[in-house]
Structure 1
Amino acid sequence: MNPSEPASANPLPTGLVRYLPELEPELQQFLGEAFPKRDPQLRMARWKWMFLESARRLGVPPMVWLFRKPQGIIAHQGALTVSLQVAGARYTTGWFVETFVLEKFRKGPIGTGVIEKARLDLPFNLSLGQTEQMRSIQLRTGWKQIADLQTLMLVLNPSQVFQGKFGNPLVRLAAVAAMNASRRIRRWRGRPRGNAPAIRHLDEFGAAHDQLWNEVSPRYQTTVVRDAAYLNWKYVTQPGQDFTRLELTRNGKVCGLAILKFVEPAGSYAYRRCFLVDFVVDPTRDDDVRWIFEATWQEARNRNFDAVFLYLIHSRLQQLAESYGFLRRDPSRYLLIAADGVPEAVQRAALDAQTWFVTQGDSDIDRPASSD
């Protein structure tokens, strides 16, 4: 530095630091190096939505932990800020995501240190497992694995889904015929029986959806609060995403919400996939739950999509999904928690897999494919 130039009055901190607005230029550079395949037009916008907007919504500082050297940021740990209800209490906590250390610094303790600092700063921490390496680190540092995030698939068009799955075309035809027969029987048995609700598309969520959540939330012991503010942040304002939002009403009263995402064939998937990303419904009202599945099926069929995917932790809802015709596949995500900073009764409830309701909308697994 030229001696005639004044020294910076507030030099940027180094070591383990929390988010500061002054660090955003370095954050942009870090994100570009860490995630070069991400759309540069969305990279910073999604980062701000994930960490700044989620925290602002609940009135807390952004849940972002960084390791900074004088030359810039070299490690990052973030958490999507959410309100969690468990054992009759609410906690402002976060889904741990975006754990990354620049490659040339991975051999040292920096990555583990950032992860551990983030865990210690929050009384209750959530994760959907991320990579096998990340799960291994978490389990070594006190996290507990609670449940598998079940993968369920409803096949609408077996001939397209099975395309390329069998070498012998006769075997494929037989498999398609068997699947068609099976899904018709299962869907007939599991179809909703009561009066059909009115179904409409939503642009945003409001007071009627707060009322729905207030009515059904006591039926869920441990879950992220899905009020209108959360639903708007997650499924209306999320950059780079285009969700279909369905409202189900009966006798003028909202009885269910479903959030869908439609994905065209890509990579190893040669068929069109619909995802039932999230939903709000009374889990004790079986027919209302079935109408959520039916509304999803109708929307996917009307758009000529080939299969519906549902990621779920909730034993009763999973049973209803399978009775409707969803087939279980091997899970690839796992719910982990670290809850050392909450009362013992809350820990006991959170460690019980039977208390949880988790969907694809939790954490960041509903992100655009270009965000990988």
Structure 2
Amino acid sequence: MSAYKQSGTRETKLSDEVILRPFCDDDLGGVIDLITGTLNSIYSADELRKIWNWKFNENPFSSGQAPHAIVLEHDGRIVGNTGQVAIPVKLGEKFVTGYANSDFAVAEGYRTYGLRLASTFWRNAGVPFLIATSANETACAVDRAFGARELISSRTRWFKVRHPFRVLGALNMRKNGAVGESFADNLWMLPVSGLKSLVSTPLGLKKVSGGGLEVREVSEFGDEFDELWEEVSPYYPVAVARNSQYLNWRYAQYPLGKTRVFAAYRGSRLQGFTVVQVSWRLVDIAIKQACITELFTRPGDGAAQQQLLKAALVCAKTEDVDIVQALGFTSGVCKLLEENFFLKTRTRWSPYLYKNNIDASHSVSEEGWFISLGDGDAVF
């Protein structure tokens, strides 16, 4: 019996007409229609199908432990969906299959049932580890009510604005949502000095020595990435396992947009890597952004971090993006971003939430977490 069934969640009749049940392949068309109709997706239906196939059917960590998604159905129509993307997670000395929430969507008029959909994801005790991204303060509060814990350190995001007037123009055009409800709104909440620095801040990188490093672009993740992960993973009690299998699926095989990977070598030894994903949106604003989804090095290797950040920013310049976004993965990376003229913004809620079902009575300490923008569905 699967862990999903062990958790007691099967097809459930929520009213005379609304049913909550596991996703089946015949639901895909209805789920795509729901996503395009409620999430203002920048992707076409065909592109969403490609992403869905990548998330679930091509995912090497999907084992049938949980369905691809949980759906709400009303009179044959899909009116709610929450996806469950399998990911490899390191918890202390254990390696488990966790699930990242994705594509949470509920049709207008069914929001009350959406609460049941959210609770079904978070209360699946048969899955060892759950993680989700929260779009706004209200959604975060709902997730917490169902047992999710906030990852407080994820409240801080870093931005480097390359074309300030394009960004400010896009913000002026944005009409939906209350101020403070999304990351886009929080750009408005930067201090006045920060807004001034959008225009006055130097766009280059702080000068650093090469440190005997060679940074080159790669198209796939080979055995040396497994060796790097094996060496570095003991430093991080909690992390998505960044081995070659995960990295190739997550980045090299991602079907849409543009993903560029840069690796730093000292001689023949891999010191670290960075991943830059380019897209035409910043949550819900139509501007061109580059997300630094990974900046992973041996702890304390400041030279590798700086050279990889330089490669990411050169990439952003080449792609002519409007804004570069990063998450402060470690205190060292936060310091590096600040030194190199990134602006910091902080939300009132935690965009990343988790639940540890291996030992539900204790919180996973945030100390030692390694988390990146690539771990959630924000850039899927």
In structure 1, the residue matched to 2:72 is 67
1:101 and 2:106 correspond: yes
219-228 vs 98-107, greater mean Cα deviation: 98-107
- Once residues 234 and 208 of structure 2 are traced to their aligned partners in structure 1, the CA distance between those partners, rounded to angstroms, is 23
1:280 and 2:286 correspond: no
In structure 2, the residue matched to 1:90 is 95
1:119 and 2:122 correspond: yes
1:353 to 341, 351, 366: 366
1:45 and 2:50 correspond: yes
- Once residues 198 and 327 of structure 2 are traced to their aligned partners in structure 1, the CA distance between those partners, rounded to angstroms, is 24
- Once residues 164 and 361 of structure 1 are traced to their aligned partners in structure 2, the CA distance between those partners, rounded to angstroms, is 24
The answer to whether the 8 A contact 2:262-2:273 is kept is yes
In structure 1, the residue matched to 2:157 is 151
1:133 to 128, 135, 138: 138
In structure 2, the residue matched to 1:292 is 308
> C-alpha deviations, 1:50-87, integer Å up to 9, x for none?
23333x43534444222334524332111221111122
- Once residues 251 and 195 of structure 1 are traced to their aligned partners in structure 2, the CA distance between those partners, rounded to angstroms, is 11
Indicate the RMSD between aligned Cα atoms, in angstroms: 3.3
Q: How far is the alpha carbon of 1:224 from its aligned partner?
A: 0.8
Q: How far is the alpha carbon of 1:317 from its aligned partner?
A: 2.3
In structure 1, the residue matched to 2:20 is 16
- Once residues 119 and 296 of structure 1 are traced to their aligned partners in structure 2, the CA distance between those partners, rounded to angstroms, is 35
Q: Specify every segment of 5 or more residues in structure 2 that has no aligned partner in the other structure, as ranges.
A: 1-10, 14-18, 172-192
2:255 to 239, 253, 259: 239
Task: Report the TM-score, using the length of structure 1 for normalisation.
Answer: 0.77
- Aligned residue type for 2:352: L
Q: How far is the alpha carbon of 1:260 from its aligned partner?
A: 0.9
Q: How far is the alpha carbon of 1:161 from its aligned partner?
A: 6.7
Structure exhibiting the larger radius of gyration computed from Cα positions:
1
The answer to whether the 8 A contact 1:51-1:78 is kept is no
- Once residues 360 and 170 of structure 2 are traced to their aligned partners in structure 1, the CA distance between those partners, rounded to angstroms, is 52
Q: How far is the alpha carbon of 1:257 from its aligned partner?
A: 1.2
In structure 2, the residue matched to 1:3 is none
- Once residues 33 and 160 of structure 1 are traced to their aligned partners in structure 2, the CA distance between those partners, rounded to angstroms, is 31
1:322 and 2:333 correspond: no
- Aligned residue type for 1:225: A
The answer to whether the 8 A contact 2:295-2:305 is kept is no
- Once residues 55 and 170 of structure 2 are traced to their aligned partners in structure 1, the CA distance between those partners, rounded to angstroms, is 38
1:25 and 2:29 correspond: no
- Once residues 132 and 123 of structure 1 are traced to their aligned partners in structure 2, the CA distance between those partners, rounded to angstroms, is 26
Q: Secondary structure at the match of 1:308?
A: strand
> C-alpha deviations, 1:82-109, integer Å up to 9, x for none?
11112222221111122222223334xx
The answer to whether the 8 A contact 1:149-1:312 is kept is no
1:57 to 57, 61, 67: 61
Q: Secondary structure at the match of 1:35?
A: helix
Q: How far is the alpha carbon of 1:264 from its aligned partner?
A: 6.0
- Once residues 70 and 268 of structure 1 are traced to their aligned partners in structure 2, the CA distance between those partners, rounded to angstroms, is 34
The answer to whether the 8 A contact 2:82-2:101 is kept is yes
Shift of the 305–57 alpha-carbon distance from structure 1 to 2, 3 Å rule, reads same
Q: Secondary structure at the match of 1:48?
A: helix
1:81 and 2:86 correspond: yes
300-309 vs 81-90, greater mean Cα deviation: 300-309
Q: Secondary structure at the match of 2:253?
A: coil
- Once residues 280 and 21 of structure 2 are traced to their aligned partners in structure 1, the CA distance between those partners, rounded to angstroms, is 41
In structure 2, the residue matched to 1:179 is 201
1:257 to 235, 260, 273: 273
Q: How far is the alpha carbon of 1:337 from its aligned partner?
A: 1.5
- Aligned residue type for 1:26: D
Shift of the 241–163 alpha-carbon distance from structure 1 to 2, 3 Å rule, reads closer
- Once residues 111 and 319 of structure 2 are traced to their aligned partners in structure 1, the CA distance between those partners, rounded to angstroms, is 46
The answer to whether the 8 A contact 2:159-2:325 is kept is yes
The answer to whether the 8 A contact 2:258-2:279 is kept is no
Number of aligned positions between the proteins: 333
Shift of the 292–44 alpha-carbon distance from structure 1 to 2, 3 Å rule, reads same
Shift of the 53–268 alpha-carbon distance from structure 1 to 2, 3 Å rule, reads closer
Q: Specify every segment of 5 or more residues in structure 1 that has no aligned partner in the other structure, as ranges.
A: 1-11, 166-170, 368-372
Q: Secondary structure at the match of 2:273?
A: strand
- Aligned residue type for 1:317: V
Residue identity (%):
18
Shift of the 175–343 alpha-carbon distance from structure 1 to 2, 3 Å rule, reads closer
- Once residues 16 and 90 of structure 1 are traced to their aligned partners in structure 2, the CA distance between those partners, rounded to angstroms, is 31
Shift of the 357–98 alpha-carbon distance from structure 1 to 2, 3 Å rule, reads same
Shift of the 298–196 alpha-carbon distance from structure 1 to 2, 3 Å rule, reads farther
The answer to whether the 8 A contact 1:149-1:358 is kept is no
Shift of the 133–160 alpha-carbon distance from structure 1 to 2, 3 Å rule, reads closer
- Aligned residue type for 2:128: P
Q: Secondary structure at the match of 1:104?
A: coil
Q: Secondary structure at the match of 2:375?
A: coil
- Once residues 79 and 322 of structure 2 are traced to their aligned partners in structure 1, the CA distance between those partners, rounded to angstroms, is 43
305-314 vs 199-208, greater mean Cα deviation: 305-314
1:366 and 2:379 correspond: yes
Shift of the 42–87 alpha-carbon distance from structure 1 to 2, 3 Å rule, reads same
Task: Report the TM-score, using the length of structure 2 for normalisation.
Answer: 0.75
